[in-house]
Structure 1
Amino acid sequence: MTRNLVVIGVSTGGPLTLKALFRELPPLDAAFLIVLHITPQMDYRIAQGLDAAASMPVKLAEDGEYLKSGHVYMAPGGLHLQLTGNNRVVLCEGPRVNYVQPAADVTMLSLSKPLKGKLIGIVLTGMGRDGADGIKHIHDIGGITIAQDQQSSTIYGMPKAAAQTGAVDYVLSPQKIAGKLMELLRPV
C-alpha cells in the first residue's frame, strides 16, 4: 500500500524523456504511474525498455491492482486508467479524451481527497493539451505540480498547456525533476 503517488502524463518524445528521468532516480517511497500515449502493440516493449533503465521495477498496470511504493506502473495502450481511493487501478474503455487513450487527464481527474501522503502530478513532453485539466485538479486538491521546461521538451505542447493553467508549481528539465522528486520523497 502506498501513501505517496506520482502521476506522469507524457506523449511525443516520451520514452526517451522517461528514461532520462528514471535513470536519475533511486528507489523512492512512492508509487509512480505513467500515462503515455501509446498503442497496445507498443506498451509492453516500452515498459520493458524503461524497466531496464530504471532502479525501480516497471510494469503495465493491471485492472484491480493496488499500487505499491517503489514501483512504476504504466497505463496500457488503448485503455483509460482511473484510480479509486488514489491507489487501486481501474482500467476502462470509453471515448478518447484529448484525442488519446490512455489520457493523463482521465487518470489525474480520478484522484481525490483526502490525500494520505504526497501527491505529485507531472506533465512531460507531448503534443496537445492532455494533462492540463488534470494538473489543475491535482493542484486544487493539494498536490504538487511539475511541468517539463520548453528547452528540454521534444514538443512543448502538453507542458505548455499545463503551465498556462497557472497551477504548475515547478517548470523543470527531466534532470531537475528527478532532483525535485528526491527532495520531496524519501528513498525506500
Structure 2
Amino acid sequence: MSKLTGKRVAILASNGFEESELLEPLRALRDNGAEVDVVSPEQGQIQGMRHFDKGDTVAVDQAVAEADASDYDALVIPGGLFNPDALRADEHAIRFTRSFFEAGKPVGAICHGPWVLADAGVVGDRELTSVPNIQRDLQNAGARWVDREVVVDQGLVTSRTPDDLPAFCSKLVEEIAEGRHKGQERSA
C-alpha cells in the first residue's frame, strides 16, 4: 500500500501558477497513492507558466466557491507570481485555505504561495520560508521567516523556489501521511 492511499488532496491554483510547482507535487502525491483535485476560482483549464513564459494548462476539477475543506486531507498552494496574487484576492480561496488550518490538516505552499496564507491570517507565529521577495509581507503578517530549502511547522510545509521541489514534495508526502497535527488547530 502506498503512503497516501485513501488520502484526498486539494491543489489550490489559478491562472499563472508556476508549472513545476503544481505538476511536481501533483505527480508526487499521485505516485504515493493520493487522490488529487485541482481546485480553482476558474473553470475548465488554468494556464501554467514557466517563469515568464506560458507553460502547460491543467484541468480544474472543483470550483473553490463550492469546495469544502472537510472533503480533503491536505492542501497544496503552488507559487508563481500571478497565481497566489489572484488567489489572495478571492474570498472563497481564503475561506478554503483557512479551513485547513482550523481543522489541523497539513498544508504545503511554495514560492509566492505563502502570500495566500498571509491573507488567510494563518501565518502568525509560525516558522516558514518562501521566495525571498515576499519575506517582508510574511513577517508583517506575523511569520518567522527563514531562508531554508524546506521548513515544516506543525503540518505547514513551505519552500522557496522550484529548485527546492524535491525536498518540498518529500516533506509534503510525509506530513500528509501523518495526518492531522495536534497544536496546528487555531482560529483565524
What TM-score do the two structures reach when normalised by structure 2?
0.48
Where relative contact order (Cα < 8 A, 6+ residues apart) is larger, the structure is: 1
User: Which one has the bigger helix percentage?
Assistant: 2
